[in-house]
Structure 1
Amino acid sequence: MSTDRSRRFRKGFGAAALAALLPLTACAGSDADSASPPPSSITQAAAHTDQQHLSLTIPGTLAAGFAEWQAGMRGRAGMAVMPVGGDKMVTFGDWTTGPAWSTMKIPLTVAALRRGTVNTTYAATAAITQSDNAAADTLWQSLGSSQEAAKAVEAVLREGGDTKTTVPSAKPRADVSAFGQADWALTEQVRFASRLPCLSQTGNVISLMEQITPNQRWGLGAFTGAEFKGGWGPDASGQYLVRQFGLVPTAGGQIAIAFAVQPDSGAFSDGMTALDKLATLVSQHLDELSGGACS
């Protein structure tokens, strides 16, 4: 592939992969782009969509950068990217789903603020900006019985396009919240994030996502104007999962990003550091990613 052609591909990668993906499929067999790039074990990554699996070996792209980063990482990681208001996503990595932890506080807070019971405004602020668990429990209890609360949070997820995630009404583990143990796939989480600004009565929640306390502004917090929420916690053996999702501004609108890391060390600090590096990687390739807006 010539330098000019490679440069054009990199510039158009975001629009093709995130807006339609069809140009990548159509060009695969065309004469214009039939030349194969040089093979490289560190520049190969899989970009998965709901419909297909694409293997990209274009040096300098986000896909290649993610593959190179993951090759040097000890653990599992995954990332999903989708434009706000769009219907196509790209995913990377070998981690796909696991406990939501505190990221589930976003749909929980939406549900509670819509209900508008006493003390929910203060609790919402603490639950999101400080990830306060007691405040989140207050929001959960404001939704009625455990069964009613679970259904209310699920209803917000469905409204946001997540048709698969279920929220347990009972604690799977005595030491953690029920909603935090909901299994939330990156694909469903990023789809929900891409629709969150388009849902009714979510403005206050999104505003709080931009006011995360300084000691939790790792990962997506490095982006100016990012609206995000992190979640982290140990499994039964004490090994930490660290994840985040949110909205990042680009020249063409906002993109939704969800990513997660499960370091082999099991240490929270290693997961946090890994998400910092992933955020840096994304920042270096923002020009490839097509943002969007609510229609």
Structure 2
Amino acid sequence: MSADRSGRVRAAIGCAVLAAAALLTSCATGTNVSGTDETTITEAAARTEQHDLSYTLPGTLAADFAELQASTRGTIGLAAMPVGGTSALSFGTWSTGPAWSTIKVPLVLAAQRRAPGTNTYAATAAITESDNTAADALWQSLGSGQEAASAVEAVLREGGDTTTTVPATRPRAEHSAFGQAEWSLADQVKFASELPCLSGSAGVTSLMAEIVPAHRWGMGSIAGADFKGGWGPDPSGGYLVRQFGLVDGPAGQVAVAFAAKPDSGAFSDGMQTLNRMAAVLAAHLRELPSGKCRR
């Protein structure tokens, strides 16, 4: 390493340490700030990046997630932001892929808005049991494939997701059209942060609190979590396993989205990785900014 580069690295580390020290000092003063405005230790660790230098404070979510990633045979990603917030924290290298059954959340909301009070059984089964037949019935209740896709996209847009598109027909014939929508963690966590604030969403979020025991792994191990999982194989048979939802924080709720794509391709390995990610998340919930609906 050149003397100039060495000096820049030392300077970057010094700045990071000073920033962390200042943050810790401010935390000790007892300054009263809102859950959505407070800069936490985790945020400082995630933001402190200088060129190819990434600095994380030991004991933070950023550091523990990096340790988890290093010990995982596969690709993982996590995003979190406060309900009603405007910016997200993100960790890991996995960023986007098929929504699979997580897209059933906006699908159910779209169907319930189209016909309030109907399809109660289908909505319950689609969310709590991830029942594909029930979800297909809700999709068909929205009209043609294009009409159904547009209805689900409208819910996504209302939730702040400005980019995700839902296919009107099945890209792969053996899987539902809606489940094959490409849904990034960044867009998904933004939608989750607005979900409880959307008109008519209380019925959907209440179902997300009633996931059947067989599916209560990952976020399901966190007390009080409202969540929905999704999983499915790529054309070669390798599974992607993902979840998103809401967990309780100090000043409201935290929206979370995470995913795992194990090198083995096995669903069971993805599920176990999400269990480990949830444990890391649960240990650091008080570090994460939380919030409430602004309207």
Fold match, TM over 0.5?
Answer: yes
Partner of 2:153: 154
What do residues 232-267 of structure 1 show as CA deviations (whole Å, max 9, x unaligned)? 000111000000000001121100000000000000
What do residues 214-233 of structure 1 show as CA deviations (whole Å, max 9, x unaligned)? 00001111111110000000
Structure 2 gaps, min length 5? 1-16
Q: Output the amino acid matched with 1:165.
A: T
1:86 maps to 2:85: yes
CA–CA distance in 2 between the matches of 1:107 and 1:47?
31
Trace 1:64-79 onto structure 2 (pairs within 5 A): 64-79=63-78
Structure 1 gaps, min length 5? 29-44
CA–CA distance in 1 between the matches of 2:88 and 2:213?
30
Trace 1:109-148 onto structure 2 (pairs within 5 A): 109-116=108-115, 119-148=118-147
Question: Aligned to 1:201, what secondary structure does the other structure show?
Answer: coil
Trace 1:111-260 onto structure 2 (pairs within 5 A): 111-116=110-115, 119-260=118-259
Q: Output the amino acid matched with 1:79.
A: L
- In the alignment, is the contact (CA less than 8 A) between 1:250 and 1:286 conserved in 2? yes
1:8 maps to 2:24: yes
Displacement of 1:213? 0.3
CA–CA distance in 1 between the matches of 2:26 and 2:212?
35
Partner of 1:101: 100
CA–CA distance in 2 between the matches of 1:280 and 1:240?
21
Partner of 1:288: 287
Identity across the alignment (%): 60
- In the alignment, is the contact (CA less than 8 A) between 2:40 and 2:288 conserved in 1? no
Displacement of 1:88? 1.1
How many residue pairs get aligned? The number is 270
1:11–1:172 CA distance, 2 compared to 1 (3 A): farther
1:53–1:79 CA distance, 2 compared to 1 (3 A): farther
- In the alignment, is the contact (CA less than 8 A) between 2:48 and 2:56 conserved in 1? no
Question: Aligned to 1:244, what secondary structure does the other structure show?
Answer: strand
Q: What CA RMSD, in Å, does the superposition of the two structures yield over aligned residues?
A: 2.9
Displacement of 1:284? 0.9
CA–CA distance in 1 between the matches of 2:240 and 2:272?
12
Of 54-63 and 276-285, more deviation after overlay is shown by: 54-63
- In the alignment, is the contact (CA less than 8 A) between 1:227 and 1:246 conserved in 2? yes
- In the alignment, is the contact (CA less than 8 A) between 1:10 and 1:288 conserved in 2? no
- In the alignment, is the contact (CA less than 8 A) between 1:81 and 1:258 conserved in 2? yes
1:152–1:121 CA distance, 2 compared to 1 (3 A): same
1:58–1:70 CA distance, 2 compared to 1 (3 A): same
CA–CA distance in 1 between the matches of 2:134 and 2:82?
31
CA–CA distance in 1 between the matches of 2:22 and 2:287?
13
1:11–1:174 CA distance, 2 compared to 1 (3 A): farther
- In the alignment, is the contact (CA less than 8 A) between 1:97 and 1:185 conserved in 2? yes
Q: Output the amino acid matched with 1:94.
A: T
- In the alignment, is the contact (CA less than 8 A) between 2:231 and 2:242 conserved in 1? yes
- In the alignment, is the contact (CA less than 8 A) between 1:48 and 1:91 conserved in 2? no
What do residues 2-57 of structure 1 show as CA deviations (whole Å, max 9, x unaligned)? 9x939827969xx99x8458899xxx9xxxxxxxxxxxxxxxx85599xx999332
1:189–1:207 CA distance, 2 compared to 1 (3 A): same
CA–CA distance in 2 between the matches of 1:53 and 1:256?
29
CA–CA distance in 2 between the matches of 1:230 and 1:11?
35
CA–CA distance in 2 between the matches of 1:171 and 1:286?
38
Partner of 1:38: none
Question: Aligned to 2:160, what secondary structure does the other structure show?
Answer: coil
CA–CA distance in 1 between the matches of 2:195 and 2:53?
28
CA–CA distance in 2 between the matches of 1:184 and 1:257?
14
CA–CA distance in 2 between the matches of 1:71 and 1:222?
23
What do residues 101-120 of structure 1 show as CA deviations (whole Å, max 9, x unaligned)? 00000000000001117852
Give the TM-score normalised by structure 1.
0.85
CA–CA distance in 2 between the matches of 1:126 and 1:186?
25
Q: Output the amino acid matched with 2:80.
A: V
Displacement of 1:139? 0.3
Partner of 2:11: none
Of 55-64 and 153-162, more deviation after overlay is shown by: 55-64
